[in-house]
Amino acid sequence: MPVIRDQDLAKGERAWNQWREAAEQSADAPTQLPRPVWAMAVRYTLFLLERKAPGPGVEVRVAPWGAIKILDGPASDPHNLTPPDVIELDPDVWLRLAAGVTTWAQEKDAGHISAVGERDDLSALLPL
């Protein structure tokens, strides 16, 4: 199932732009945005990452709004459907990384990224 429906791409792009504009105003401004804006911004940016680095090898999860598989590598184990590399981020962390507000190293050092596997660093793919 796609992370965002084709008919929602324009809505997702608007939400992403709205989030970035709010982030440029102040670090706290995005927190004032409605939940649906956050959801669409997350889904849209995950879609962009999936297009940038397609593949079945790494699962990127941004709960509760989306998960994608990216990068070449071993596919999911047929018994549990989870690839050997899994990265989990909160929505605010993900959007900061996608926008280039913070770096992968900053968020990892702060303990905001849960990553398991050999390919646990997406810094070469970010910001979007």
pLDDT score at 82: 66
Domain locations in the chain as residue ranges:
6-125
CA distance 41 to 33: 11
Q: Of how many residues is the chain composed?
A: 128
Q: Given 1.25.40.10, 3.30.1050.40, 3.30.413.10, 3.40.50.11030, which CATH number is that of 6-125?
A: 3.30.1050.40
Q: At what angle do helices 35-52 and 91-99 cross, to 10 degrees?
A: 50
- Contact present, 29 and 45 (Cβ < 8 Å): no
Question: Six-digit token pair at 22?
Answer: 């709010």
Report pLDDT digits (tens) over 1-43: 899 999 999 999 999 999 999 999 998 888 899 999 999 999 9
pLDDT at 76 over 70: no
